[in-house]
Amino acid sequence: MVSCGHAEIQQQQCIWKETPVFLLIMATSECGEAERHFGNSDSKQSETWKRHIIRQLKYRDKAQKILFQDVIRSYLGLLERCTQKAFITKGILSVTRPLLLSSSEDSLSSLKTATGELAYQVVELQQEIKIKETFLEKQHARLYESQNDLSAVQLEYGKLQASVAEVEERNRLLKSKYDALLERHQHTERAYRKEELSGSELLEDMIHWKQQAAERMNDRNERRVRAREAGLNKDPEATANKKFNFDKVPQSASSPSSPSLLRSESGKRAERSHGRLFRSASATSPRFLGSIKDLFERKRRGSSICSLEEHLSTPSGICLAARVPNKAIHLLDAHELGINAVRFSPRSNLLATGGTDRVIKLWDIVAGMLHYRGTLDGSNEGITSIEFDSTGTRILAASYDKSALFWRLDDFVPKFTLTGHSRKVTAARFMCNLRQVVTGSADRTVKIWDLQRAACIQTIEVLSYCSDVVCSEYYVISGHYDRKIRFWDSRAASCTQEVPLQGRVTSLDISPNHRELLSCSRDESLQLVDLRRSNTRMAFRADGFKCGSDSTKAIFSPDGSYLVAGSADGTVYIWNVGTGNLETQLPDMHSSSVNAVAWSMSGEYVVSVDKSRRAILWSDI
């Protein structure tokens, strides 16, 4: 039955497919009949009729095909399904054919079993399909969530990019402002230095003018005295008979300096005690003229401008015998970072410490304890060395920012900054005349500066990294990384002598009597050089002593009898200069390398500082 139905379907399909051919045949036959009917009609007219008929046939074919196209398509689909069912039936028969050969009951049960298994497999496949569909739905849900998260992250990323661009733009503006401020600061600093130089020049001119005015006044007074002497000599008899009462001398008749002298208590006592003698003496007597001359000499001396040394130099305390400390009496963290330098004032009542935190701190020593007094700031980088002048009123410091700074103790802002080195300044010292300072730098130069003009007046090329400098009256002594100590004549800027050592020099110090030079070097020793005979040297060593850095400082005691230096292990070592032996070593209270030490001029205290910002006050009390 299936095969018969299939044949009928194919026959009908062929009929439908042959329909356009039939129509064409009919059209052709109609055209022939038309030709025979009209006979010898015009050939052109017959061609027109043929084309018209063909167009009509094509139009009808197209219209009929459109109407039945969906039906034909559905019919073809039904044919394909029937074909598939025939194939499935054929497969089932091939499976069940062996069973038909057996008994009918067995074949029926086997057919039922095969059908059940197939149904069971269909159910299992449907369940798996459902499971897969559920899993696929979950995956779609996760994909949707991931897409949402991704969109949120992309939105956040866009916001972050916008904020980064805003921050970069802000940083660029700040950088431009900083560059403008830096340029303005440099311009202001140059203008300030120029104004400071012009101010110092104006001050010098003013002092010169005052000196000239004082000289003119003194000359005027001398001419007035000489004129009075000449008038008295013309009438000696009248002058001899005339009595002078100095208590009633009018102010207009005296010199500018005599009223203050006559009003003083000592002048009154002198007049009372010697009044009769002066009244009986003539104005032309040598004693009278000598007193007037002394009077004007006092005025001239009082009007003169004293020198810087006369104004600043005051006698400092002298240490007769330094006391060797044996215990720590005060310990504190003096700075926020490591401490590089420490120095006592000449009067021993003030201590200055400088560190890598860019400041100098001042400390008073009261009852064996360090009490904070104030801070000197102004440096852009860490402090490398500190120096007091002989009066204890001024401080000079070297800095990592390629400059040296100068303070007065009555002002916590630097009075001026000495700039000109191209690398860090390792040392700064006052020269003996107090008008000049000398600085040593890592740029292999030593510079001499005039404090009144705040300008460099001499530059010495020292051939190697300069770690420290000291000054005598005419010489500048420098220590270097090339293991040499060099002596420079400050008047000629020439090297007069070189002293070789075994290690790079870390510090220099000169004895109180300026006869011996102390050096500390990286060969773990201290060398003592006799400045009168430079070939005479003495080395000081100790078990455990080791320089902790290239800037470790060693110094003399204030009486020159001892040497003191700090070690890398935190111990402070003290040697006796007379015997050359180690006098004592102070217990290791420091937790890191000791950078510098200072001994008070009174000989009572020693202070040591280290890299871990700790300062320790030592004494024998």
pLDDT digits (tens, 9 = 90+) for 201-239: 888 888 888 878 877 887 887 788 778 777 766 555 554
121 pLDDT more than 90: no
Helices (H) and strands (E) in the chain, counts: 8, 28
Identify the helix (H) or strand (E) that includes residue 598: strand 594-599
- The closest of 452, 458, 449, 444 to 486, measured between CA atoms, is 444
pLDDT digit string (tens) for 318-356?
556 788 998 999 999 999 999 999 999 998 889 999 999
pLDDT of residue 422: 93
Instruction: Round the average pLDDT of the chain to a whole number and report it.
Output: 78
pLDDT of residue 87: 75
Length of the chain counted residue by residue: 621
Rounded mean pLDDT, 160-171: 93
- pLDDT over 70 for what percent of the chain? 75
Q: Taking the domains of the chain in order of start, what are their residue ranges?
A: 2-101, 235-305, 327-432+445-619
pLDDT of residue 91: 67
CB 548 within 8 A of CB 593: yes
151 pLDDT more than 70: yes
Name 105's bridge partners. none
3-state secondary structure string, 256-276?
CCHHHHHHCHHHHHHHHHHHH
Specify the residue for token string 């499976």.
Answer: 95
- The closest of 406, 395, 382, 411 to 351, measured between CA atoms, is 395
Specify the residue for token string 């801070």.
Answer: 375
pLDDT of residue 42: 59
- The closest of 488, 491, 490 to 499, measured between CA atoms, is 488
How far apart are the C-alpha atoms of 577 and 497, rounded to whole Å?
Answer: 24
CB 360 within 8 A of CB 396: no
Give the CA distances from residue 433 to residues 20, 200, 256, 494, in Å, rounded to whole numbers and listed in that order.
133, 19, 35, 20
Name 363's bridge partners. 351, 372
- Quick one: CA dihedral 98, 104, 106, 112, positive or negative? positive
Write the single-letter amino acid at 183. Answer: E
Adjacency order of strands within the sheet including 403-408: 383-388, 394-399, 403-408, 416-419
Q: Top-level CATH class of 327-432+445-619? A: mainly beta
What DSSP string runs through 497-548?
EEEE-SS-EEEEEE-TTSSEEEEEETTTEEEEEESSSTT-EEEE--TT----
pLDDT digit string (tens) for 511-546?
988 889 999 999 999 999 988 876 678 999 999 999
pLDDT digit string (tens) for 354-372?
999 999 999 999 888 999 9
